[in-house]
Structure 1
Amino acid sequence: MGWKELFRQRIQLDILSGGHVLTDKHIPVPIRNASLVKGDKPGEVITELPFADKKRWHLARIEWAKSGQRSAGKAAGGAIAGTIVAGPLGGIAGAAVGGRRKDTSKAFVYLIGEDGVECKLHIHCDQKQYVMISAMLG
């Protein structure tokens, strides 16, 4: 591996489904993690998996669905803990901290292989990752 490859932008993917298309090897368990690396050409990306060969793709598009959820149980627990430690104002602060929104956003990443076939990955994807992957579209 040369210096150029070491400093390429890498995005860690948390794969929900579709990971099997990233390698030609038969892997008996679902593929849940991979890296997406910017290629040399506009729109070119390389997928890297542990114990598998790298594969080159053309990044066709990404569709992002922003979502999040709050945990009422954690908010209540934070309110109780805050009240015990710091009184009524601590309860308000504890509820705010305990009930923070958890990012559950997901995206579909569409990749076109060297054979011209389009494949789809479903991934966990926060806004930062979405922007980074979108920048690879070229």
Structure 2
Amino acid sequence: MRSMKLDIIKGVPGIQGKKVSLFKTKTPGLVKFQAGLTLTVQKTVTNIAWEHKEGRSAGKAAVGAAAGGILAGPLGLLAGAAIGGKKNEISTAILTLDSGEQLMVRMTAKEYEALHSWL
């Protein structure tokens, strides 16, 4: 993986907004960040702290159960709840930059492994 797009939870000066794209560079640890359409900065990531979490959406399970129940009866109710309430990953990572600033983003396990290999 040479690039990834992540949700920003807490930005740092120069990396603000809702989304940030990260691009691998040839220099280990040096990452190109693009927030928005034109703003691009290069920063060295010195550490990544990652917290893995999974959750289920009760709202989506309820909607899936209702739709399944209407369309296919009792069995559809169960299937709709199972599909609507599937697990979703809501893990977060704190990227420590060489300046000491910390950028907090949402990240999957696959993205974490890829970014960790860039360091």
Task: Normalising by structure 2, report the TM-score.
Answer: 0.81
**Among residues 5, 10, 23, which one is paired with 1:17 in the alignment?**
10
Matches within 5 A, 1:1-138: 9-22=2-15, 30-49=16-35, 50-52=37-39, 54-112=40-98, 117-137=99-119
CA RMSD in angstroms, aligned pairs only:
2.1
Cα 1:124–1:86 change in 2 (3 A) is same
Moved over 6 A (4+): none
Structure 2: gaps of 5 or more residues: none
The answer to whether the 8 Å contact 1:64/1:130 transfers is yes
Number of residue equivalences = 118
Shift of 1:93: 0.6
SS at match of 1:55: strand
Unaligned runs of 5+ in 1: 1-7, 23-29
Q: Which residue of 2 aligns with 1:4?
A: none
Letter in 1 for 2:49: E
Q: Percent identity?
A: 36
Task: Output one character per residue of 1:82-134: Cα deviation in whole Å (capped at 9) or x when no partner.
Answer: 2222222221111101112232211101121xxxx222100011122111211
Give the TM-score of the pair, scaled to structure 1.
Answer: 0.72
Shift in CA distance, 63/85, structure 1 to aligned 2, threshold 3 Å: same
Which one has the bigger strand percentage?
A: 2
Based on CA coordinates, which of the two structures has the bigger radius of gyration? 1
Preserved CA contact (<8 Å) 1:19 1:31: no
